C-alpha cells in the first residue's frame, strides 16, 4: 500500500532544503575568510622576508653569523645575496693550502740549491788541497846544505825544487815561495797580465783558488825595488789565507819569507810591516823613485811587524790578498818584507 503525502510533508521538506542551502553558503563564506586570512599572512611573511634580506645586505655581521652557523650541505644553497661570501669562505682553505704548498716548494728548491752549492764548494776545496799536496810531493824535496855565511847559520834544511820538470809543466813558473810556520808553500807564476792566473791553476785550468802570481809589471828575477805577489784569501786556509789571518792578529807574524828562484838562488826576506791598504795605494807600484817614499808609506797604517830603518831597505816583496772573503771589497791585507840575504844553493 502506498501512503499519500500530505501538504504538511511538502512544507517540511521545503524547510529542510532551505536549511541545507544556508549551511552550504555559511561554509563557503567561512572558507573565503580563511583564504583571505592565509593570503594576508603569506603576504606579510613575504614582506618580512624581504625586509630581513635587506637587513642582511646592510649588516655584514649578520652575514658572518649566518655563514658561521650555516650547515654546509650540497643539497642546500645559500641565499643569493650572501652566496659570494659563502663561496669565498668555502674556497678560502684551498687558497691558504695552495699558498703554503707554494712556499714549501720554494723553500725546498732553495734548500736543494744551497746544498748543491755547499757540496760543490766542499769538493772544490778538497780538489784544491789535493792538487797542492800533489805538486809539493812531485817537485819538492828537503836537502841538507851546510850554510855558515847567512842569517840561517844554524839551519841546514832547505827546499830543493825540480825546476826542469816544473817549468816543463808550465813555463810561466818564476819561483817558489815558502813561509815557515804557515801553510804558504807554493810555486809562483807570472802571466802577461794580472788576470791570467787569477782563476787558473798550474795547468792553466779554471780554478776558483787561482795561483800565487807575481805582478805582470815586475821583473821575474825579483830585481825590482818592490815585487808584488798576489794570492786569494781562501776559506779553507790555502793560498794566501795566512796573510789575512796574520794581518788580523789571528796567527803569529813569521820572521822570514823564502823565495826560491830557478837559477838556484834563495832570497831571504825579513818581515817588517803588516798593513791594511786599499787597491789604490801607491804601495802597489813597483817603483816610487826613492826609498824615502816607500819607507813613509810602509809606516802608514802599519798594524804589526818588526822595527826597521830606511837604510835597511834594499829590495822589498809585498804579499797581497783580499781583506775579506768578499773579493769586491777594496781593502787588502799586505805583508812587507825586506831582502836580508841571498843564498846560492847550487
Category of 276 on φ-ψ map: left (φ > 0), alpha (ψ -120 to 50) or beta: beta
Residue 252 burial class via C-beta count within 10 angstroms: exposed 0-12, middle 13-18, buried 19 and up: exposed
CATH numbers and ranges of domains, the chain: 163-344 (2.40.260.10)
Whether pLDDT at 246 is above 80? yes
Higher pLDDT, 307 or 333: 333
Strands 226-230 and 316-322, by their bridges, are: parallel
Q: Are 275 and 337 in contact (CB under 8 A)?
A: no
The whole-angstrom separation of Cα 258 and Cα 262 is 13
- Residue 21's pLDDT band (boundaries 50, 70, 90)? low
Continuous segment of H or E residues that includes residue 132:
helix 83-139
Whether pLDDT at 5 is above 60? no
- Residue 152's pLDDT band (boundaries 50, 70, 90)? low
Q: For cell 825579483, what's the residue?
A: 222
Whether pLDDT at 173 is above 90? yes
Which residue pairs from 137-146 have beta carbons closer than 8 angstroms and sit at least 24 positions apart in sequence? 138/162, 138/165, 139/165, 139/166, 139/187, 140/176, 140/185, 143/345, 145/345
Whether pLDDT at 343 is above 60? yes
- Residue 192 makes CB contacts below 8 A (sequence gap 6+) with 216
Mean pLDDT of 275-287: 76
Whether pLDDT at 125 is above 80? no
Higher pLDDT, 183 or 42: 183
Per-residue pLDDT of 61-118, as tens digits, reads 444 444 444 444 444 444 555 455 545 555 555 666 677 777 778 888 887 777 766 6
Distance from the first to the final alpha carbon of the chain: 176
> What pLDDT score was predicted for residue 165?
96
Query: What are the respective helix, strand and coil percentages of the chain, to the nearest 5?
Result: 45, 20, 35
- Residue 185's pLDDT band (boundaries 50, 70, 90)? very high
Written as nine digits, the cell of 198 is 787569477
Mean pLDDT of 6-23: 53
Q: Which of 28-32, 210-214, 234-238, 270-274: highest mean pLDDT?
A: 210-214
Q: Are 216 and 193 in contact (CB under 8 A)?
A: yes
Continuous segment of H or E residues that includes residue 68:
helix 60-69
Whether pLDDT at 320 is above 50? yes
Q: By C-alpha distance, which of 294, 163, 308, 284 is closest to 228?
A: 284
The whole-angstrom separation of Cα 232 and Cα 211 is 8
Mean pLDDT of 305-321: 80
Hey, which bits of 116-247 come out as E strands?
140-144, 157-161, 173-178, 185-189, 213-214, 226-230
Whether pLDDT at 1 is above 70? no
Amino acid at each position: 500500500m502506498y501512503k499519500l503525502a500530505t501538504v504538511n510533508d511538502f512544507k517540511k521538506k521545503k524547510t529542510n532544503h532551505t536549511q541545507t542551502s544556508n549551511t552550504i553558503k555559511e561554509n563557503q563564506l567561512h572558507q573565503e575568510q580563511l583564504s583571505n586570512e592565509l593570503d594576508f599572512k603569506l603576504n606579510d611573511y613575504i614582506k618580512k622576508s624581504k625586509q630581513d634580506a635587506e637587513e642582511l645586505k646592510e649588516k655584514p655581521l649578520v652575514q658572518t653569523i649566518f655563514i658561521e652557523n650555516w650547515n654546509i650541505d650540497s643539497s642546500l644553497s645559500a641565499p643569493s645575496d650572501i652566496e659570494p661570501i659563502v663561496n669565498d669562505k668555502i674556497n678560502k682553505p684551498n687558497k691558504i693550502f695552495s699558498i703554503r704548498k707554494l712556499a714549501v716548494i720554494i723553500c725546498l728548491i732553495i734548500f736543494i740549491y744551497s746544498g748543491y752549492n755547499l757540496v760543490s764548494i766542499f769538493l772544490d776545496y778538497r780538489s784544491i788541497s789535493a792538487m797542492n799536496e800533489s805538486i809539493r810531493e812531485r817537485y819538492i824535496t828537503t836537502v841538507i846544505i851546510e850554510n855558515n855565511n847567512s842569517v840561517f847559520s844554524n839551519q841546514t834544511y832547505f827546499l830543493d825544487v825540480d825546476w826542469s820538470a816544473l817549468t816543463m809543466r808550465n813555463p810561466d813558473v818564476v819561483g817558489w815561495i815558502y813561509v815557515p810556520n804557515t801553510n804558504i808553500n807554493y810555486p809562483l807564476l807570472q802571466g802577461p797580465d794580472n788576470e791570467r792566473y787569477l782563476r787558473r791553476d798550474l795547468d792553466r785550468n779554471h780554478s776558483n783558488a787561482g795561483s800565487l802570481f807575481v805582478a805582470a809589471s815586475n821583473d821575474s828575477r825579483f830585481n825590482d825595488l818592490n815585487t808584488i805577489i798576489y794570492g786569494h784569501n781562501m776559506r779553507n786556509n790555502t793560498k794566501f789565507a795566512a796573510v789575512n789571518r796574520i794581518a788580523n792578529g789571528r796567527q803569529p807574524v813569521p820572521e822570514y819569507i823564502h823565495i826560491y828562484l830557478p837559477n838556484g838562488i834563495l832570497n831571504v826576506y825579513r818581515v817588517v810591516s803588516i798593513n791594511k791598504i786599499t787597491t789604490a795605494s801607491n804601495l802597489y807600484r813597483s817603483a816610487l823613485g826613492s826609498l824615502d817614499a816607500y819607507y813613509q808609506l810602509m809606516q802608514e797604517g802599519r798594524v804589526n811587524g818588526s822595527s826597521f830603518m830606511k837604510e835597511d831597505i834594499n829590495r822589498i816583496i809585498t804579499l797581497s790578498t783580499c781583506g775579506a772573503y768578499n773579493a769586491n771589497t777594496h781593502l787588502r791585507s799586505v805583508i812587507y818584507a825586506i831582502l836580508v840575504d841571498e843564498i846560492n844553493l847550487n
